[in-house]
């Protein structure tokens, strides 16, 4: 039977989007469980930030085999930034990497992010989405920075979930 390319691609596309959607929703279902177990004395934001930290730590470990200093500091930062942007894209976002004006400064810009939509669906605050992204990336950088012996920082400058149209994060080397 000949292959109907359009049908095959659209089938895969739908599967990809369903998978991304299901992963996002699964996160919020687990978030609900974690908040219930944490009890009333624990702030939901603290639970979410702790989860972001755990995710970041683990993702950081998985990035280590790919870290490479052979292309120098700038090359290393670029590979790292692309990995962080790639992570967002895998989740269903649209993120790109741009060099900053100063050396050792890179911006990760996300213009489409599914996380606020999921958060809204499950009643999670928008600010939590922004802070969790920042915390997760900080946790990633902790291990990566120490591993490569480069002090790294990442800061959230704008966030879609704050109604600022895009999410912008600045990755840079500290002195």
The residues of the shown chain that bind another protein, judged by CB under 8 A, are: 1-3, 5, 8, 11-12, 15, 60-62, 64-65, 67-70, 143, 146-149
Q: Residue 69 — φ and ψ, nearest 5°?
A: -95, -5
**Tokens of residue 92, six digits:** 């269903």
Determine the Cα–Cα distance for residues 136 and 58; give it in Å rounded to an integer. 10
Q: Count CB-CB contacts under 10 A for residue 138.
A: 19
Q: Please, what is the minimum distance in Å from the beta carbon of residue 93 to another protein?
A: 24
Q: Return the number of the residue (82 or 162) whose C-beta is nearest another protein.
A: 82
Is 169:154 a contact under the CB 8 Å cutoff?
A: yes
Element (H, E) at 94: strand 94-99
Q: Please, what is the minimum distance in Å from the beta carbon of residue 83 to another protein?
A: 15
DSSP H helices, the chain, are: 5-38, 44-63, 72-90, 115-121, 126-148
Q: Return the number of the residue (73 or 127) whose C-beta is nearest another protein.
A: 73
Q: Please, what is the minimum distance in Å from the beta carbon of residue 152 to another protein?
A: 13
Q: Please, what is the minimum distance in Å from the beta carbon of residue 9 to another protein?
A: 9
Q: Return the number of the residue (69 or 122) whose C-beta is nearest another protein.
A: 69
Q: Return the number of the residue (122 or 146) whose C-beta is nearest another protein.
A: 146
């Amino acid at each position: 039977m000949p292959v109907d390319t359009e049908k095959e691609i659209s089938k895969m596309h739908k599967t990809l989007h369903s998978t991304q959607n299901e992963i996002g929703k699964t996160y919020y279902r687990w978030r609900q469980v974690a908040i219930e177990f944490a009890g009333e004395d624990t702030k939901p934001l603290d639970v979410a930030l702790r989860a972001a930290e755990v995710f970041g730590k683990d993702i950081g470990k998985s990035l280590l085999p790919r870290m490479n200093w052979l292309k120098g500091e700038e090359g290393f930062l670029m590979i790292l930034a692309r990995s962080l942007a790639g992570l967002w894209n895998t989740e269903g976002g649209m993120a790109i990497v741009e060099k900053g004006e100063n050396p050792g400064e890179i911006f990760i810009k996300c213009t489409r992010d599914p996380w606020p939509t999921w958060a809204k669906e499950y009643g999670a605050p928008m600010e939590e989405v922004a802070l969790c992204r920042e915390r997760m990336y900080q946790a990633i950088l902790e291990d990566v920075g120490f591993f490569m012996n480069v002090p790294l920082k990442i800061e959230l400058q704008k966030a879609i979930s704050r109604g600022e149209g895009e999410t912008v994060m600045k990755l840079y080397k500290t002195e």
